Amino acid sequence: MLDDARSHGLWEKTAPAAPVTGPLETDIIADVAIIGGGFTGLSAALHLAEKARKVVVLEGAEIGFGGSGRNVGLINAGMWVMPDDLPGELGQPHGERLLQLLGDGPRAVMDIIDKHGIACELERNGTLHCAVGTAGLAEIAERARQWQKRGAPVTLLDAAETARRTGTEAYAGSLLDMRAGTLQPLAYVRGLAHAAVRAGVTLHTQSRVSSYTLEGSGWKLSAGRGAVVADWIVVATDAYGAGPGDAVRREQTLLPYFNLATQPLAPHLCASILPGREGAWDTKEILSSFRMDHAGRLVFGSVGALRNTGTAIHPAWAKRSLARLFPQLGSVDFEYQWYGKIGMTENALPRFHRFDRNVVGFSGYNGRGIAPGTVFGRTLAQHILGELGEADLPLPVTELQAPAFRRVKEAYYEAGAQIAHLTGERF
């Protein structure tokens, strides 16, 4: 169980149970050992097991403990970087490959959910990127233009249509992306775990990997009172890495993000606010996101940590913001509150690392873990199976490199969000 109410909140209360697992207590021989039981690790495990590979997943805490079980639940296509800028950032052919892979990412998620019957509150009605003012409208108009020329099903909506879909007149317009949607993230990652176990994956929780070393022609991973010997290792820990995954965590600047969930809204309010159940977020630098769950709770989030003085500042700001955005709500109370960490890379793009021979991993999802994590897990499986060579991957190999002034930036983001929210909506 994930017992800290401020870590997984609503998702822990409404997700189906994870598979019954326990710590590694013995020695196991496998084809592939995967460190991390989130979207990437379990997607890789599932796709490998479906090709008859013996796979062991070692999770240091519980399934979905990291970013996979804490996020908003938006199944986004693409990344924060504008589509036309990707080839310049990554070069050819990687830029266009990554655009294609991540543009199709939400469909891959939905296909897995359909194939394995995962109960995770899936909504397929798209997402709304909501424009704040003229600058925000120009930003989403340009993003729409760049995606549309690539044939993506995105539409620029005017202020009136945006108000009809969101229930607020606060926005100058929005970008509707019909590739995207929402889900219950902890339910999805637990569903991946169940599918992986049914496919033959061995899954151990409370099994933090302390080290891995060469043993003969393979690798020996030590975890608790046992060990796994495998030909390949997948490092799938991202922003919550420890032990061998700590270098990946230190490569990213960690941005705190919180979510607050109201009590289930009355039917007339559900018909007014996001009646189509799209997920939404705005163009502000310190952005806000909002969506509905299947019970009719409004889930509202922004940058910040619910700790120390943030435990009072952020919920108070959220109440003021909701009163401005949705005056029809009246006074609201939050039934659940939780927060986590988003791993941000210097260029806001993910990375592929070859840590050693047959030791690989993707990381740096910049707050977009659901679709990228799923498709990168599949890509890692294809690489291990020999279906994709290193030269055919969507990202080039990069060396681990910690960002300058990482801890200073993290403290600045947490304090800055509190300052912004302390004054926000007051004046």
Q: What is the pLDDT of residue 426?
A: 58
**In this structure, are 112 and 258 located in the same domain?**
no
Q: What is the pLDDT of residue 2?
A: 67
Q: By percentage, how much of the chain surpasses pLDDT 70? A: 98
For residue 151, what are the contacts with CB-CB under 8 A and spacing of at least 6? Answer: none
Residue 14 lies inside a defined structural domain of this protein: no
**In this structure, are 107 and 31 located in the same domain?**
yes
Interatomic CA distance for residues 427 and 410, integer angstroms: 27
Residue 85 lies inside a defined structural domain of this protein: yes
Select from 158, 178, 198 the last residue of a domain: 178
Interatomic CA distance for residues 39 and 186, integer angstroms: 10
**In this structure, are 302 and 423 located in the same domain?**
yes
Provide the 3-class DSSP secondary structure of residue 146.
Answer: helix
Residue 413 lies inside a defined structural domain of this protein: yes
**In this structure, are 65 and 109 located in the same domain?**
yes
Max CA pair span of the chain: 67
Confidence band of 80 (pLDDT split at 50, 70, 90): confident
**In this structure, are 74 and 202 located in the same domain?**
yes
Residue 12 lies inside a defined structural domain of this protein: no
What are φ and ψ of residue 395, in 5° steps?
-135, 145
Interatomic CA distance for residues 290 and 72, integer angstroms: 8
ω into residue 394 within 30 of 0, thus cis? no
Q: By percentage, how much of the chain surpasses pLDDT 90? A: 86
**In this structure, are 161 and 226 located in the same domain?**
no
* Number of domains present in the structure of the chain: 3
**Cα-Cα-Cα-Cα dihedral of 24, 26, 31, 34, to 10°?**
20
Residue 379 lies inside a defined structural domain of this protein: yes
**In this structure, are 303 and 379 located in the same domain?**
no
* Domain containing residue 27: CATH number: 3.50.50.60
**In this structure, are 77 and 215 located in the same domain?**
yes
Cα distance between the two ends of the chain: 42
Select from 178, 202, 219 the last residue of a domain: 178
pTM for the full predicted model = 0.96
**In this structure, are 263 and 372 located in the same domain?**
no
* Domain containing residue 320: CATH number: 3.30.9
- Average pLDDT score over the chain: 94
Residue 110 lies inside a defined structural domain of this protein: yes
Select from 178, 199, 218 the last residue of a domain: 178
Residue 326 lies inside a defined structural domain of this protein: yes
Confidence band of 427 (pLDDT split at 50, 70, 90): very low
Determine the structural domain holding residue 357 and report its residue range.
20-124+183-247+346-396
**In this structure, are 48 and 110 located in the same domain?**
yes
Tokens representing residue 91 in the block: 């070069």
Confidence band of 244 (pLDDT split at 50, 70, 90): confident
Residue 4 lies inside a defined structural domain of this protein: no
**In this structure, are 358 and 222 located in the same domain?**
yes
**In this structure, are 336 and 285 located in the same domain?**
yes
Confidence band of 1 (pLDDT split at 50, 70, 90): low
**Is residue 265 pLDDT above 80, yes or no?**
yes
Confidence band of 412 (pLDDT split at 50, 70, 90): confident
ω into residue 83 within 30 of 0, thus cis? no
Q: What is the pLDDT of residue 290?
A: 98
Q: Which one-letter amino acid corresponds to residue 139?
A: E
Strand 154-158 to strand 173-177: parallel, antiparallel, or no bridges (unpaired)? antiparallel
